[in-house]
Amino acid sequence: AQKVTQAQTEISVVEKEDVTLDCVYETRDTTYYLFWYKQPPSGELVFLIRRNSFDEQNEISGRYSWNFQKSTSSFNFTITASQVVDSAVYFCALTPYNNNDMRFGAGTRLTVKP
Amino acid sequence: NAGVTQTPKFRVLKTGQSMTLLCAQDMNHEYMYWYRQDPGMGLRLIHYSVGEGTTAKGEVPDGYNVSRLKKQNFLLGLESAAPSQTSVYFCASRGGLADYNEQFFGPGTRLTVL
């Protein structure tokens, strides 16, 4: 069975600090996809990134970066120089390739204080 | 281009009442999903559809039924609502066949069962 664990329930930082959100997953599949979604206070879900299991390259997009390590089954998300607008709940998710059974972690609530 | 829309946005039911949530997408996506989001649990898949006229069970299907009579619409029904079904319901859709594209989410429906 698939499982995604986001052990950090809540994180609070001061603006401009760097913060890393952890995501650990379990799957028996060799081919799978990992995702990060952002849910701001308004409630909608915003797609941030998709990574397939064969691509372990780290990715950077502006202040956001992702570190995928198959050896530790982790897909961590780092926000550099955090801003108040980054305050949201962040979800990590996993799905097998060609399967529709997406499993979400419980989410990490990030609060960035000015 | 409205993306994914959900009707209604809010609803309050009494135990035992029935209702239908409507999800509509205008992106010609083949795949559609219904999730529920409960505090501290992330999103859980209720039912999904891989095309018009097809539906399948997700992680938590009990107490719900779905129908996909038209490609653009995916209906979620509660035949006899229970307080345990108080939740925020999200619909999502995705396109793509060869690759697993991200799911686009609707704004959510907040349902309270008294």
Of the listed ranges A45-59, A68-82, B61-75, the one predicted with least confidence: A45-59
Helix or strand run (H / E) with residue B32 = strand B31-38
* A7 interfaces chain B, CB cutoff of 8 Å: no
Mutation pick from B48, B99, B102, B104 vs chain A, by most beta carbons of A within 10 Å, is B102
Cβ atoms of A32 and A99 closer than 8 Å: no
pLDDT at A60 exceeding the cut of 90 = no
DSSP string, A75-112: EEEEESS--GGG-EEEEEEEEETT----EE---EEEEE
* B11 interfaces chain A, CB cutoff of 8 Å: no
In whole angstroms, give the CA distance from residue B4 to residue B33: 11
Model pLDDT for residues B84-106, shown as the tens digit of each residue: 999 999 999 998 665 567 889 99
For residue A65, what are its two tokens?
Answer: 């970066």
Model pLDDT for residues B19-50, shown as the tens digit of each residue: 999 999 999 999 999 999 998 788 999 999 99
Cβ atoms of B81 and B21 closer than 8 Å: no
Model pLDDT for residues B63-75, shown as the tens digit of each residue: 999 999 999 999 9
Of the listed ranges A83-87, B8-12, B101-105, the one predicted with least confidence: B101-105
* Arithmetic mean of pLDDT over chain B: 92
Of A44, A95, A106, which has the smallest distance from its Cβ to B107's Cβ? A44
Mutation pick from B36, B93, B100 vs chain A, by most beta carbons of A within 10 Å, is B100
Model pLDDT for residues A4-17, shown as the tens digit of each residue: 999 999 999 999 99
Phi, psi of B112 (to 5 degrees): -120, 125
- Residue in the block written with tokens 């010609």: B28
For residue B18, what are its two tokens?
Answer: 């029935």
Of all residues in chain B, the percent with pLDDT exceeding 90 is 86
| Non-local CB neighbours of B84 within 8 Å, separated by 6+ positions | B63, B113
Name the residue of chain A whose CA is nearest to B41's CA. A106
Residue A74: what pLDDT?
96
* A100 interfaces chain B, CB cutoff of 8 Å: yes
Confidence of residue A90 (pLDDT cuts 50, 70, 90): very high
Residue A112: what pLDDT?
97
* A102 interfaces chain B, CB cutoff of 8 Å: yes
Amino acid at A107: G
DSSP string, B56-76: EE-SS-TT-EEE-SSTTEEEE
